[in-house]
Structure 1
């Protein structure tokens, strides 16, 4: 950071909610003398971009796209950016179970359009393999690198049983899909590659505070869990890794404005009416999304329902099955025929950027408030 920004952020701390409520204050109003933890900043919308490599966690949703655009707009060289995509369903399954069928190929086509490297990583056998774990160890991680895919065994993992869906919760032990299929995989992708040693790495994700009360408490800049230079005076494998959430402070309106200025086509889920772009059958889906999936893709709901019956536990914490929840609401009316066709295909066939001469159009899911996707 430059000196002025550094002084501002060094003085910012987060005051407990009860204390702020007592005085009628917002986090932005609170200024103290010292940061709670050195290197941790609650607000850091602009930082000094003196990094060797920037890793963008690319989900294919609007916020990860905006995070990439935010970095480019601030002059970070595109040649030092790489996109990482975590495959929720793994690469072994023939059909999607949780995620959209096209999302992997969308990220491939996006990287090609931007002339940026894309590295995919996943937990072997994906979501379903982890969910069906029964008195067994978790499967290995597979990590894409410049030299090919590396398989990382998990010999220290203990035998355990899941046989249930993850549940809506802030705890990543309960909401294990985020930790097992994304966070742990990303962490090992950093620690297994010698190319990050003696480098300064920026690890970028696209969360926004506006999305939930939980994300409203996130720090915008902090040392990543794989950072070693601030954990030890003489680390054996020195890695300087900062985790930055560049769009954390932005509103949804500001994100859509960025994508409009970039002329990037709104991702398919938003064109279908989804308010968020997460897994198609995300555990956070509201009743209307389940009704829509049951209407247009009934086989996806039936597969979830079969596992609910097998486990004796619903995907929802309120105990209602997906079939019951689908009956509680009217499905979305999808008028975008192109997006509807694409939603069932594995190969992504739509243009990444709006073609010359065509207008950029705000998708049906923008500002919809329809519950879809993790918070």
Structure 2
């Protein structure tokens, strides 16, 4: 039997007592009515499109479509043209509020120049500083407003993301439905983890991975769980859902790009980078100049200058390799 969170309607109004209950996440699909906010992360890409459609079907079935909010992390010049506008179009299609998350300070390209290094698989500050961090600011705003409206100490937020197991070995290790634990989360699960971890620390032993609470989005004011509704879908399965949704996809897919990440992604395959340089030569040239300026290669084994040279010498590539990230 699956334990469920108490529904939002059944919670008592309270501003002074913390809530320490937590769901037992023993299924892969959440009960959407148990959340006060359903935050749909929308990159504008196909996986986000499919996740949006699946989430809205479930939200309408649970009669909580009014709790869905769409958020887009704006990466500025690094994105394909029109991505932010497309994400807003998707939100309008489903008639849900649309919020844009953007880092305060320099954009991603300027951030790279300031750090004098490009992100890589082990140091993905493009994700942490320009996506996850700004989206948590949006979470804070939404939770604050919802706490005032519901007069409740802690708000339950479901963070919906379009991540799939097929995309990379790292993503295959993710759970389709999980609690976003943290060092300040007061739920029973996080309390137990911290208590167990303290015993290892006292013995000066390494803390097992399953006992690390990490740096999740939960805290005393928000209980955050993460749902990956397209986790088990293949690429073909994603496109089937997108076709059913009847929302517009970005033209970069028709140009041959397998993903709608940064147009020149630091984790991208060689063929995808060559195609991106052919499609956005001025942008590729800007990145190449930045390589020279900071003395750091775009990828360890492939510079953007080399990509531009290959793009100039080759005809338009028809077969583009995807990448694991």
> TM-score, structure 2 length as denominator?
0.73
User: 1:106 Cα shift?
Assistant: 1.3
Using CA pairs under 8 Å that are at least 6 residues apart, name the structure with larger relative contact order, 1 or 2. Answer: 2
Match of 1:292 in 2: 275
Alignment: residue pair count: 266
Which 4+ runs in 1 deviate beyond 4 A?
A: 38-41
Hey, what does 2:290 align to over in structure 1?
Answer: 307
Who is 1:259 aligned against? Answer: 242
Aligned to 1:203: 159
Match of 2:180? 224
Pair 1:101-2:81 in alignment: yes
| 1:91-125 CA-partner distances (Å, limit 9, x unpaired) | xxxxx2x1112111112222223221101111123
Distance 1:242 1:276 in 2: 26
Q: Does 1:321 align with 2:303?
A: yes
1:159-170 matches, within 5 Å, as: 162-167=115-120, 169=121
Range moving further from structure 2, 211-220 or 325-334: 325-334
Map 1:109-188; keep pairs closer than 5 Å: 109-124=89-104, 125-133=106-114, 162-167=115-120, 169=121, 171=122, 174-188=123-137
The separation in 1 between residues aligned to 2:262 and 2:296, in whole angstroms, is: 20
**Counterparts of 1:132 and 1:40 in 2: how far apart (Å)?**
44
RMSD, matched Cα: 2.8
Checking the alignment, whether the CA contact within 8 Å between 1:196 and 1:239 is kept in structure 2 is no
3-state SS, counterpart of residue 187 of structure 1:
helix
Instruction: Quote the Cα distance in structure 2 between the aligned partners of 1:237 and 1:276.
Output: 36
Provide structure 2 residue ranges, at least 5 long, that are not aligned to the other structure: 5-21, 148-153, 193-217
Which residue does 1:54 correspond to in 2? 38
Q: CA–CA distance in 1 between the matches of 2:263 and 2:92?
A: 24
CA contact (8 A) 2:103 2:133 kept: no
Residue 201 (structure 2) aligns with: none
Q: Which moved more, 1:207-216 or 1:224-233?
A: 224-233
Distance 1:243 1:223 in 2: 6
How much does 1:190 deviate? 1.9
Residue 331 of structure 1, CA deviation = 5.0
8 Å CA contact retained: 1:40, 1:223: no
Q: 1:298 to 1:40 in 2, by over 3 A?
A: farther
Q: 1:44 to 1:306 in 2, by over 3 A?
A: farther
Change beyond 3 A, Cα 1:109–1:71: closer
